[in-house]
Structure 1
C-alpha cells in the first residue's frame, strides 16, 4: 500500500486526505518526518504518525483504519456523539482523532483558525451552536493542559471565553498529566473535563478518567501499565524488533502495548504514576521526576511548572523546578514546593532549586520540550 506524506500545516489538507484513507479509496497518510524509504505500508493502514520524541528517538507509528475507527466509536459510546472543534495540530494523534471522530460521526469539524489563542478558540467555539429536529447538537473538543490553563486565565476577565468553555459537553484533556489546581479551576468555571490517557500507539486516549474505553483492557505487569484492544497500532514502520518489544503477545495471542508508564489499578480505576524511565538517582535514592512534578504543581503559583533532572556534584543528580513567567515570592513558593514533595514523595525527593524562565520551550504537540529545558539549564 502506498504512503503519501502530507504536510501538517493546514488541517483541511489532512482532513481531505484522511477521508479517503479511512474509506480505503486513497493512500495512507504520512504525518511527520518520514524517511524516503518509508514509501510502502501494510494493507489497511490509514495513517503513519511520527511521534514527537519528547523522551526519546522519534518513531513512525502505523495506525490502521480499523484502529482509528474503533477509537472514535469507543469515544462516542463513552461521552456521546456531536460536533468537534479542532484546536490541536492535526499532525499529532490527539488532533488527528478529532478529525477521525468527525468523519465517523458524519459531521464537518470546526477548526481554530491560525495559531491557538483564547480569542480564536472562543470565536470558533461560540460559532458551533446548531441543532437537529429542534434538539441541540452537543459539542466537544480536545486540548492539552497548557491550552486549558490559558483559556482559564482569559476566562477570568473575558466572559465570552468562560461561556465558550461551558458550552462543550466534554473537553478531553490529554498529552500530559493535568495539574489538580488547573482541574479545580476548570470545574469551578463550569467546564466539563474528561482526563484521557493513551498515546499514538493506542490511537490516542483510550482510558478516560481512569476507566478504559469499550473494548480496551488495562493491566499492570512488573509495575508497568500495559494496554490491549482494537485501538492498538500495528507497530513501528520499518522496525520489527522495536515492534516486537513494545507489543508482546500472550500465549493466547492477545497483543499488549507496553506503555513505559508506572501505574496501579485500584477498584477498576487506572492511576498512572509517571514514566518508569523518567527517574534520577539522587544520593543513592531512585526518584520519579513525574511524581515530584505532580506534587510541585499542587502548589498555587506553580501549576505550570516543569521538573527536570540535572547532574549534581553532591548528590549525583538533583531535580530543578522550572517556572514560566516572572513573579514574586519565589522563596516562599520554593519552600512550599519542597514541603509538598516531602509529604507526597519523600524528603530525599525535594527539588534542589527553582528557576524562572521567560517561557517554556514546547514541542509542536504542546508538550513541554524537556530535553530543551534541560539543555538550557545546563548551559
Structure 2
C-alpha cells in the first residue's frame, strides 16, 4: 500500500513575488512531493486559520488522493459561509483545464499574472504558463492594483513572440478602462483577456470591446479548476446541464475536482457531476448565469434573482458597480436593496432614476426598496462582492 501523502502549506507572496512558487508548482503538477495548500504569504493570521482547518497534520486519505493521479493542489474557497472548504485538485484536472483554455484561445502563449495566485484563477495563470513552457510575468501589486504597474509588466510580456494572455477581475478591467493611457494601450495588445472571479456587467464588457480590448468572460470555480465556460459556451472538455428551463447548473468533465478535504461524502459531487449551487438558463445557445440559488430573494412571495437587477443598474449612466441582496423586512419577508458605486462620487446618479430603470426593465418586485451609494464594494476572494458584509451594512 502506498504511503499516504502529506498536505503542506504553500505561502504565496503577492504580486511579482508569486513567481517564487513556480518550482513547487511544477513539482506538484508532476506528482512529486506533498500536495500543496496555497495560502496568502503576507497574512499570517488568515493562513493560520486555513492551515488549522485544512492542513492539520493529517495526511491525505485514500478518498482524497490516488497514486496514479496525485492531488496536486488543495484550493481553499473564499469561505462565503464562514467555513472554508478545501477543493482537491489532481494534476490531471489542472492540466485538462489549462490545455482546453489554450485550445480555445488559439494555442499556448505568454501569460501575465495580475490577480492573487492563491486563488484558482490566479494559480491557473501560472499553471498555463508552466504547461506552455513560457516564463510568466506578474504585476507589482505591493500597493494595490495600479494601471501604470500593469502597463509596465505588460510591456515585458508583449516583448516576447507568440500569443499574449492575461486574466482580470471586472474591477481591474474597470480601473484600466477608466484610467486610459498606457494601461489601456497595453491591454489592447493582448490576444485575449479572460474575465472572471465575479459576474461581468454587460455594459463593462461592451465598453471594453468598444475600446478594442479582446475580452472573454469566463464561468467556473475552484471545483472546476477555474473557468470552464467561455463567453457562455462550454470548453471542449466541459458538460453543462441545467435542471429545468431556469434551474440549478451541474458541471462535468476531466477538469472537476476530486471532492473536498475532510468531506468524503460531499453532496455537491455526485455521479460524476458537480452541483454548482448556481442558477442558469440557455439563451441562444449560450449559458446565462442568473445568480446563486442561496442568493435568491423572496419578497412578498415573488422570487427575485439579484444578477438581472445588478445588470439593469450597471447599464445606467453613472453606475460603475452594483450589488443587490435581500434584507429582512417585517411585511415582505425580504426587501430588495442595492449598493451602487457611482462612476463619479461627486455627481452620483439619482436613486429614484435607478429604481425607475429597474422597474421598467424588470418588474416592481425586483425594484430595490433602498439604494445606498458607496465609494467601493467590499470584496472577498479574487473580486467577488462580499454579500455578507454588505448585508450587515445594509440590513
CA distance in 2, matches of 1:129, 1:288: 41
Q: Where does 1:352-371 land on structure 2 (aligned, <5 Å)? A: 352-371=369-388
Q: Which moved more, 1:160-169 or 1:265-274?
A: 265-274
Partner of 1:349, secondary structure, is coil
8 Å Cα contact 1:228-1:256 kept in structure 2: yes
Q: Does 1:5 align with 2:22?
A: no
Query: Given the alignment of the two structures, is residue 239 of structure 1 paired with residue 263 of structure 2, yes or no?
Result: yes
| 1:210–1:27 CA distance, 2 compared to 1 (3 A) | same
Contact 2:345 2:375 in 1 (8 A): no
Per-residue deviation, 1:310:
1.5
Deviations 1:51-100 (A, max 9, x none): 00235632110000000000000000000221000001000000010000
Q: CA shift at 1:293, angstroms? A: 1.5
Structure 2 alignment gaps of length 5 or more: 40-49
2:323 and 2:252 map into 1 onto residues whose CA distance is 30
- Which moves more between the two structures, 13-22 or 70-79? 13-22
1:63 equivalent to 2:89? Answer: yes
CA RMSD of aligned residues (A): 1.8
Query: Is residue 285 from structure 1 mapped to residue 302 from structure 2 by the alignment?
Result: yes
Note the C-alpha offset of 1:292. 1.6
The normalised TM-score by structure 2 is 0.87
Which of 20, 25, 50 is the matching residue for 2:27? 20
Could you tell which deviates more after superposition, 161-170 or 365-374? 365-374
**How many residues were matched structurally?**
363
When residues 59 and 344 of structure 1 are mapped into structure 2, their CA distance, relative to the original with a 3 A threshold, is: farther
When normalised by structure 1's length, the TM-score is 0.91
Contact kept in structure 1, 2:198 and 2:383, CA below 8 Å: no
Q: In the aligned structure 2, how far is the partner of 1:277 from the partner of 1:345?
A: 21
SS of the residue corresponding to residue 321 of structure 2 reads coil
Matches of 2:217 and 2:358 in 1, distance apart?
23
Q: How far off its partner does 1:269 sit?
A: 1.8
Deviation at 1:24, TM superposition (A): 1.9
Task: Within 5 Å, give how 1:120-135 maps onto structure 2.
Answer: 120-131=149-160
The match for 1:87 is 114
Q: Distance in 2 between matches of 1:92 and 1:371?
A: 20
Match of residue 198 from structure 1? 220
Per-residue deviation, 1:14: 2.6
In structure 1, C-alpha distance between the alignment counterparts of 2:210 and 2:81, rounded to whole Å: 33
Match of 2:38 among 31, 35, 44: 31
Structure 2: distance between partners of 1:298 and 1:45: 43
Partner of 2:241: 219
Pick which of 299-308 and 104-113 moved more. 299-308
Q: Which 4+ residue blocks in structure 1 deviate beyond 4 angstroms?
A: none
Q: How has the CA–CA distance of structure 1 residues 147 and 26 changed in structure 2, closer, same or farther, with 3 Å as cutoff?
A: same
What are the superposed Cα offsets for residues 220-245 of structure 1, whole Å, 9 maximum, x if unpaired?
Answer: 12411111100000000111232xx1
- Do the aligned partners of 2:320 and 2:341 also contact (CA within 8 Å) in 1? no
2:188 — aligned with what?
166
Asked if 1:143 corresponds to 2:143, the answer is no
Structure 1: give runs of 5+ residues left out of the alignment.
250-254
The alpha carbon displacement at 1:173 in A equals 0.2
1:328 Cα shift?
5.0
Once the two structures are TM-superposed, the CA of residue 341 in structure 1 deviates from its matched residue by 2.2
Do residues 40 (structure 1) and 59 (structure 2) align?
A: yes
